[in-house]
Structure 1
Amino acid sequence: MLTNLPSTWCWQTEAFKEYPDHLTARNSVKKFGNKAFDIVLSIDVLSHVEHPWILALDIAATVRVGGLLYARELSSEGFQESQPDYWRFTNEALRIVYHQASGLVYEDGGFAGQLALIPDNAAKSNPQLTYDNIFQFALAIFKKRNHGSNLPVRWSQQDS
């Protein structure tokens, strides 16, 4: 998971308690090296970096071929004064940024592509939509796409 939140916050979130700290990065993917993942969650990250199109390319590189990038960004939320806050993205803008940066494809109506998006106002309209639920939903989509595989998020070597 890539987030703008401190890792200590992530480990207070039930869905992430079983995963080691090295599976989370804050506003950077450099610590992952050439590793690739089945599922990558990018939550409110691009809004907080000066050059989001560069980070989008780096994020996309951490998605294993056939994997899933699950992205959410701030859109209509108020600015956050406690940290750098540069951009706002609609879901259409995210599709463009990730596609132009890396060729990732999003297909409406079923998450058949590699990019799945969370509506920025989903949490407001559905208070039950927590980070735990987002992670579980992303994992369920991945399992369905991979014929019910119960494999957890795992390391895999990226094709060179």
Structure 2
Amino acid sequence: MTETESRQTYDEPYAQPRHGQPSGWVGMVVFAGVMLLMLGGFEIIEGTVALFKDDFYLTTRQGLVIPMDFTAWGWTHILLGAIGVLTGLGILAGQMWARVVGIVIAVLSALANLMFLPAYPFWCSIVIAVDVLIIYALSVHGREVRN
């Protein structure tokens, strides 16, 4: 075997995918889409609880970063959740707009949960961690999925 042949054999596993073929990172974008669907569901649940059961959260309104009524926080979370679910579906369909909106929604969700942290610290920490994973997957590997 010549040096050229051995180099081609060695480099093949690391070769770039051919035009039109997805790379192995597509799974990361699908992961982001599924996580955005889950995040939307989490946000809707969190918002619904804030709407219908004000006494569930163990803080005063003054204990929140932005002292708003829990009803206003509930609607904020429900709105973010609904947009998150729709965006997750768009990501799974390979839409470019969904990647951009997904990053924006994940950032807004992380900020909203950071401000809501005094009300429910454990749950908000989990949602913020999911937001960070979504931002990473969409910003680093988002262009792997195209229509």
Q: Place the TM-score, normalised by the shorter chain, in its bin.
A: under 0.3
Q: TM-score, normalised by structure 2?
A: 0.25
Report which structure shows greater RCO (CA 8 Å, sep ≥6): 2
Q: TM-score, normalised by structure 1?
A: 0.24
Q: Which has the higher helix share?
A: 2
Q: Which has the higher strand share?
A: 1
